[in-house]
Amino acid sequence: MISENLLLSSGAEYKSYSNEDLIFSENETAYNFYYITEGKVKLNNYIENGKEFIHGIVTNNMSIGTSYLFTEKKYSINCVAINDVKVLRLPKISFLELLNENQNLYPALISQMSENIHYQFVMMQTIAVKSPEKKIKAFLDYLKENEQNKSEFSLQIHLTRQQLASITGLSVETVIRAIKSMEKGGLLKIQNRKIFY
DNA sequence: GCATTAACAGCTA
DNA sequence: TAGCTGTTAATGC
């Protein structure tokens, strides 16, 4: 989206994180722009007794939590690394200056934030009203939407059952039961525990 | 570590 | 009351 060189020349610094490290957390003020160059993070909240809800998973070449740089609101989510992650971090003020000097960056920025809003809308309504299978299907459809190859079972889901549960608000067992029944219905394939959609 | 299964309890259509 | 989902716990991969 934004080139690494441009960020570096504006004063961005590389920061490294490993699995489970917090990049920013709930109720913190947003002081920085973050851009992932390597790895994956999750945006989540921790609910009671160690449970979590995942609002989204963000991978490389994407920015994280950028919308919070345009409001005075504090983060309502945690950002947690889920493998080895490298980000470019740029102070908010420098980021806003960078945008000011490079107005051509806006379309891509707005496009990514709009994608996020779309995801929130889709997941919000399915999680609120649908059956477990439909919740999982809505999420898989969203993943598939962003793939070039739309053919059947071409997309491997690189997420654990537990992560799928935290994304859909279901228990792991329900996720397991649902995907098995979806396999029976020919909606997806399971090959040595990996899901193909 | 993560996935699966089973037995059980609680909810609801 | 039958069916579904979450909880717990044991077992498998």
The per-residue pLDDT string of chain A (197 residues; one tens digit each, 9 = 90 and over) reads 788 999 999 999 999 999 999 999 999 999 999 999 999 999 999 987 778 999 999 998 999 999 999 999 999 999 999 999 999 999 999 999 999 999 999 999 999 999 999 999 999 989 988 899 999 999 999 999 989 999 999 999 999 999 999 999 999 999 999 999 999 999 999 999 999 99
DSSP of A83-121: S-EEEEEEEHHHHHHHHHH-GGGHHHHHHHHHHHHHHHH
Say what the pLDDT of residue A171 is: 95
The whole-number Å distance from A173's CA to C11's C1' is: 15
pLDDT value, residue A25: 96
| A91 contacts: CB under 8 Å, gap ≥ 6 | A11, A31, A32, A33
Helix/strand number for chain A, H first, E second:
6, 11
Q: Which residues contact A19 (CB under 8 A, 6 or more apart)?
A: A81, A82, A83, A84
Place of tokens 């989510």: A77
Run of H or E residues at A81: strand A78-81
Q: Would the Cβ of A89 be found within 7 angstroms of any atom in strand B?
A: no
- Asked if the Cβ of residue A158 lies within 7 A of any atom of strand B, the reply is no
Stated pTM of the model = 0.92
Cβ–Cβ under 8 Å, residues A61 and A68 = no
Residue A161: phi, psi to the nearest 5?
-60, -40
Residue A117 tokens read as 């809003």
Torsion of CA A182, A186, A188, A192, to 10 degrees: 90
Nucleotide nearest to A165 (CA to C1'): C6
Q: Which nucleotides on chain B have any atom < 7 A from a protein Cβ?
A: 2-7
What does each C-alpha distance from A4 to A8, A23, A37, A48, A103 come to in angstroms? 6, 19, 8, 39, 17
d(CA A145, CA A135): 15
